[in-house]
Amino acid sequence: MDNTALILVIIGALNWGAIGLFGIDLVGLLFGGQGALISRIIFTVVGLAGLWSITLLFKDKVPMHK
């Protein structure tokens, strides 16, 4: 679940970057505009992934063994 949430957060961040840099909402462009049902579902899922990712800040970190 953590990796899925992280991937969705990255997609959301790239979309926000495209909006900030180029004024292009990639999700809206690909799925019929910001108000389209599928776009709104994607925005909602990405938002939920962002909320889930907050939990990653508080998880115990396990050092990698070499």
- pLDDT digits over 36-52, tens only? 999 999 999 999 999 99
Q: Is residue 50 part of a domain?
A: yes
Q: Which residues of 7-22 are buried (b: 16+ CB within 10 A; e: fewer)?
A: ebbebbeebeeeeeee
Q: Is residue 22 part of a domain?
A: yes
pLDDT digits (tens, 9 = 90+) for 1-27: 889 999 999 999 999 999 999 999 999
Q: How many CB atoms lie within 10 A of CB 4?
A: 11
Q: Is residue 61 part of a domain?
A: no
Q: Is residue 17 part of a domain?
A: yes
Residue pair 56/49 in contact (Cβ under 8 Å)? The answer is no
The DSSP-derived string for 2-13 is: HHHHHHHHHHHH
Domain of residue 43 covers 2-56
Q: Which helix (H) or strand (E) holds 55?
A: none
Q: Is residue 64 part of a domain?
A: no
- Give the global pTM: 0.79
Q: Is residue 29 part of a domain?
A: yes
Q: Is residue 65 part of a domain?
A: no
Total domains in the chain come to 1
Q: Is residue 62 part of a domain?
A: no
